[in-house]
Amino acid sequence: MENKSHALAAGIFVLVVAAMLAGLAIWLTRDNANYEQYELSTRDGVSGLQPQATVRYKGVAVGKVTRIGFDPQVSGNVLIRIAVNEQAPISPTTFAVLGYQGVTGLAHVQLDDAEKPYPELPPGPSGLPRLPLKPSPFGKLAEQAPAILGQVEEATRRINQLLGDNNQQKLTEALSSIGQAAGSVNTLTQRLDATVAQRLDPALAALPPLASDARQTLQSLQQAGASVSALAVDLGKTNQRLNAEGGAIDQITAGTQSLARAADQFSTATLPRVNRAADDTARAARQMGRAAGGISDNPQLFIYGSGRIPPGPGEPGFGGAP
């Protein structure tokens, strides 16, 4: 009987302790905040989302998921009911998206604001307001998975074609050609270095003296230009003197006019007289010529004169002839 009383006391103690722990847990987990209920409807899968999952607004916890089921209005849609703290700034621009935490695969509801308000969604049968639920990045990835796999398969096929035996042989030949071209470029570089060292360096060394000579030549040309300018000034002054009134050109003009007048006088007065004297001289010369001819034909003119010469012995008409 005594053993049963001890067992009963121990049982009662355990129950009291358990009740106290339960009350402490309820007290520690109590939430006195006021919540507003919203619904989300989506055609995408919500794997990883569980009831009591956190609802965050721009990363701040503002509520939790209270229920996950199917939408009675749209067949195939998933209906998510969330409780959001009434102090959260829910507005017409607020939308929801599923966010995933790390690599665990656990999901939560992420609330955010868009730049423009979304069209207001009609409430469901429960009468709760609905928020637009945008597809999550993983949902978009799942939708694009078939297309991505097809592209990966096509890329793999092309890579296999690119790495075929024929292409590998061509690639090997191309690498060999590139190696030969690199050797040729190296040889050409060495030749260019030698050319630069043997020819260009002396030429570059001769550039400073050449520049000095060119500078001296330029100075000489400047001096010559100055001399030409001075000569041009002197010529200008000489031209002014020549063209001045009473200058050399005027004197030459006056002399020329005097010569012209003398030539006119010579042609009008002196030249006719010279012509007459020349005519008289010609007539005298002709007369002297005739006289000389007569003397040569008849030298007796000096003895007998210019009359008829009597015939001589043996000539016809001679007086003493029989």
Residue 82 pLDDT level (bands cut at 50, 70, 90):
very high
Residue 297 lies in a domain: yes
Given 78, 108, 136, the domain boundary residue is: 136
Residue 22 lies in a domain: yes
* pTM tops 0.85: no
Residue 321 has pLDDT above 60, yes or no: no
Residue 309 lies in a domain: no
Q: 129 and 41, same structural domain?
A: yes
Residue 322 lies in a domain: no
Using DSSP's 3-state secondary structure scheme, residue 229 falls into: helix
Listed in sequence order, the residues at least 6 apart from 242 whose beta carbon sits closer than 8 Å to its beta carbon are 248, 249
Q: 100 and 38, same structural domain?
A: yes
Number of structural domains (the chain) is: 3
- pLDDT one-digit tens code per residue, 135-150: 877 666 666 777 888 8
Q: 38 and 121, same structural domain?
A: yes
For 153, what's the count of Cα atoms within 13 Å in the CB-facing half-sphere? 6
Residue 149 lies in a domain: no
Mean of pLDDT values over 289-309: 64
> What was the pLDDT predicted at 286?
77
Q: Tell me the residue range of the domain where 45 lies.
A: 33-136
Q: 108 and 57, same structural domain?
A: yes
Tokens of 156: 């793999």
Q: Which of 187-196, 219-228, 246-255, 279-288 has the lowest mean pLDDT?
A: 246-255
Residue 52 lies in a domain: yes
Q: Quickly tell me which residue has 């956190």 as its tokens.
A: 54
Average pLDDT, the chain: 78
Contact indicator for 39, 124 with CB cutoff of 8 Å: yes
Name the residue with higher pLDDT: 279 or 210: 279
Q: 52 and 15, same structural domain?
A: no
Q: 68 and 120, same structural domain?
A: yes
Residue 322 pLDDT level (bands cut at 50, 70, 90):
very low
Tokens of 122: 């009609």
> What was the pLDDT predicted at 312?
64
Q: 21 and 49, same structural domain?
A: no
Residue 203 lies in a domain: no
Residue 178 lies in a domain: no
Contact indicator for 130, 38 with CB cutoff of 8 Å: yes
Residue 210 has pLDDT above 70, yes or no: no
Residue 105 has pLDDT above 80, yes or no: no
For the sheet with 60-70, list strands across it. 35-42, 78-85, 60-70, 54-57, 106-113, 94-101, 133-134
Mean of pLDDT values over 304-314: 62
Q: 99 and 70, same structural domain?
A: yes
CA 171 to CA 264: how far, in whole Å? Answer: 110
> What was the pLDDT predicted at 200?
59
Residue 191 has pLDDT above 70, yes or no: yes
Strand-pair category, 94-101 with 106-113: antiparallel
How many angstroms from the chain centroid is the CA of residue 291?
113
> What was the pLDDT predicted at 207?
62
Q: 76 and 2, same structural domain?
A: no
